Amino acid sequence: MGSKWRKAKLALGMNLCVYVPRTSEEAPPPSSSIDSTERLSNAALLSPANWDACSPRPMTPTPSSHGLRLSKSSSKSSKQTCSICLTKMKQGAGHAIFTAECSHSFHFHCIASNVKHGNQICPVCRAKWKEIPMQGPSSDALLGRAAVNPIGWPQNDALMTVVRRLPPPRRDPNRRHIVPLFQAPEPGIFNDDESLGHQPVTADRSSGYADVADSGSVKTITIKTYPEVSAAPRSNSYDKFTVLVNVKAAATITRQKTSRNLASLLQPSHSPRAPVDIVTVLDISGSMAGTKLALLKRAMGFVIQNLGSNDRLSVIAFSSTAHRLFPLRRMSDTGRHQALQAVNSLVANGGTNIAEGLRKGAKVMEERMEKNPVASIILLSDGQDTYTVNGLGGNQPKRNYLSLLPLSIQGSENGGFQIPVHTFGFGTDHDASSMHSISESSGGTFSFIETEAVIQDAFAQCIGGLLSVVVQELQVGVACVHPNVCIGSLKAGSYPSRRMTDGRSGFIDVGDLYAEEERDFLVSVNVPAESLRHETALLKVRCIYKDPLTKELVTMESDEVRIERPETVGQQVVSIEVDRQRNRLQAAEAMALARTTAEQGDLASAVTILENCRRVLSETVSGKSHDRLCLALDAELKEMQERMASRHVYEASGRAYILSGLSSHSWQRATARGDSTDGSSLVQSYQTPSMAEMLTRSQAMLLGSPSTQRLVQPLLSFGSQPKPR
């Protein structure tokens, strides 16, 4: 039976999803039968006046970041509040007020910005307008001039205002969708990113983190090594002796342990961190209409609210074509305000052109004038690309999913990734294979958002990691010490690795590490027999990485890995640390083989592969000791078996669930899949404290009412639990 938390989320999702926005053509029912919640429009969920039906108040409300506040206002108070910027509308306050033909009122500059993105319907009631507001002669976009700030950053409230009759929409003969008449033109080169400026050592008020490290802070990693046994008979030699190399990043986020309530969760801790550049590439095709788009807007509101003033965000929206809503902008008070306006203006229509969305997302990253230390692209889609992949012809034996990903953000042959793309497959109709290929080729992760209610949690977990990067460009080097020892193999998952031709050294390109994130690699070596020595020195590990704040290269070395060589050795048990990682790799190999078998149509054999792996794991040292990671692997394998019950189940969720699991294990990084964001789930092996903190904050905001606090209490203690070893 599912956990209470999972049931609460599903119930919450149902409450969010059952209300369908009424169009202007539909006759309304008697007013007495209309519940105030039914009046909410999915397109206006980002508005505080409308969010009270689905979410509590934000962590740190500010005059210009009210986009996350959920007021309890009735229809009367909504007339006094602009549903876009969420501030009061008052005559004589220096702001023009626009009242639409449907009787809903807004600040003129707010609704004009909304219209400039192609929105020609009321954000509250979804009525189609015949007359629309537009900026006067000073508006760059309406004069046909390329605007540096396509969402009007910031606007002059004194501009003359005009209301004009809305002409029929223009149709591009080469496209299959309507082109918004007032969509702002984009510059040819995306070099209009906001300047980073001077970044002082101060704590960011809205994200809860400092943006530049204190000179006294220490960023480092720890290196641990574990031979599979501590001693081996002197006269024996071994061809495949395993050594585990464990690398762990230092903690930078001090979690609040004294106060365990919702109020404390909404007040994030303060700790130095590297600022980020994030580009979100969002699917707004026709299939995203309604609740999906509304929940996506809410999730983006959470992301915007949790970025710091030195973090920068740009949003790309794509359907049949792609459009940059705004350039990379710092998430200051003004930046957040404008970002919320832009996201709230999104309307779903058209096809699904993932390649074009990624092309523009990569273009933003490539052509930016300045760069924050950390950069990432987040891609969300609920469908299949109908232009690049599916448009190449139906007789291909294997689709070229890499054609969706610009070459500039693909991993190089020499190792390392420029810009990781973290992909999110939404619902049961998305192309899990393409989303997994995109993430795998760029160094990102693939998450499967099965139910609409968890989209914000999935984003929160990802953002929690990106906002805690403490190590960059990490390279792990392994060198043999004994003259007769050679490296046989390096098992590093998806991380690029190479073994030198002489077999005496090898390297693994790891890249970025989040705070308290770990990486485990298995190194296989040969161990020669010894005639006189009482011990054998096998390996030495060396790590080189860049501090994202100081830009300095740091080098660390481990002690030599040695094993004792007595004349005789009694019965020895394999190190549980080594056994645990062997099980992880064996489970990942079984998942990959089962997936390949399932794709060939043999689901029964695929289920057998997973069942055999579960049986083997249960007989290992860590399995018999009920090790938490081993239990989690068994639970995950069992879940995959259930999702292969039939071809229909596999196509709907099995493929995506397995690919997301493979992504997680190959990169040793948390992904969202199934109930993995549930506090009671075992499938959380790679979730860091910073991810857990951001995830719990998201869940606390969604379940913040007093009646649901008791359901959140089990989550509050999760962040203090040690990682399963």
pLDDT in tens, 443-464: 999 999 998 889 999 999 999 9
Residue 48: pLDDT band with limits 50, 70, 90: very low
φ, ψ of residue 450 in degrees (nearest 5): -75, -40
Of 513 and 48, more confident: 513
Distance CA 353, CA 385 (A): 5
Q: Which two tokens stand for residue 287?
A: 């299939």
Q: Which two tokens stand for residue 454?
A: 């968890």
- Say whether pTM exceeds 0.85: no
Residue 94 has a pLDDT of 64
Residue 586 has pLDDT above 70, yes or no: yes
Residue 322: pLDDT band with limits 50, 70, 90: very high
Q: 72's torsion region: left (phi>0), alpha (psi -120 to 50) or beta?
A: alpha
Residue 660: pLDDT band with limits 50, 70, 90: very high
Residue 666 has pLDDT above 70, yes or no: yes
Residue 227 has a pLDDT of 97
Buried b (16+ CB within 10 A) or exposed e, 124-155: bbbbebeebbbbeeebbbbeeeebebbbbbeb
Distance CA 340, CA 331 (A): 11
Amino acid at the residue 98: F
Of 522 and 203, more confident: 522
Distance CA 533, CA 482 (A): 12
Q: What CA dihedral angle connects 548, 553, 558 and 560, to 10 degrees?
A: 150
State how far the alpha carbon of 65 is from the alpha carbons of 301, 338, 340, 539, in Å.
Answer: 10, 9, 8, 54
* Cα separation of the two ends of the chain: 27
In terms of C-beta distances under 8 Å and separation of at least 24 residues, what long-range contacts does 32-40 make, across chains too? 36/74, 36/75, 39/75, 39/125
Residue 170 has pLDDT above 80, yes or no: no
The predicted-structure confidence for 594-641, as pLDDT tens digits, reads as follows 999 999 999 999 999 999 999 999 999 999 999 999 999 999 999 999
The predicted-structure confidence for 4-34, as pLDDT tens digits, reads as follows 555 555 444 444 433 333 433 444 444 433 3
Residue 5 has a pLDDT of 52
State how far the alpha carbon of 404 is from the alpha carbons of 314, 385, 388, 569, 685, in Å.
Answer: 20, 9, 7, 57, 30
Q: Which of 162-171, 224-233, 327-336, 395-404 has the lowest mean pLDDT?
A: 162-171
Buried b (16+ CB within 10 A) or exposed e, 30-44: eeeeeeeeebbbbbb
Residue 181: pLDDT band with limits 50, 70, 90: very low
Distance CA 282, CA 297 (A): 10
Of 254 and 590, more confident: 590
Question: Mean pLDDT across the chain, nearest whole number?
Answer: 77
Cβ neighbors of 721 (< 8 A, separation 6 or more) are none
Distance CA 418, CA 431 (A): 24
The predicted-structure confidence for 93-139, as pLDDT tens digits, reads as follows 667 787 777 777 877 777 776 666 566 777 776 677 766 665 444 33
Q: Which of 263-267, 486-490, 548-552, 672-676 has the lowest mean pLDDT?
A: 263-267
| Burial degree of 428 (CB within 10 A; 0-12, 13-18, 19+) | middle
Distance of CA 535 to the CA centre of its chain: 47
* 211-234: average pLDDT: 75
Distance CA 210, CA 636 (A): 37
Residue 113 has a pLDDT of 67
Percent of the residues in the chain that have a pLDDT greater than 90, as a whole number: 54
Amino acid at the residue 34: I
Residue 359 has pLDDT above 60, yes or no: yes
Q: Which two tokens stand for residue 725?
A: 């070893």
Distance CA 347, CA 601 (A): 39
Percent of the residues in the chain that have a pLDDT greater than 70, as a whole number: 66
Query: Token pair 């969420």 is at which residue?
Result: 86
**Three-state secondary-structure class, residue 172:** coil
Q: Which two tokens stand for residue 266?
A: 């909404």
Residue 471: pLDDT band with limits 50, 70, 90: very high
Of 686 and 178, more confident: 686
Residue 271: count of CB within 10 angstroms of its CB:
20
Residue 713 has pLDDT above 70, yes or no: no
In contact, 278 and 322? CB cutoff 8 Å = no
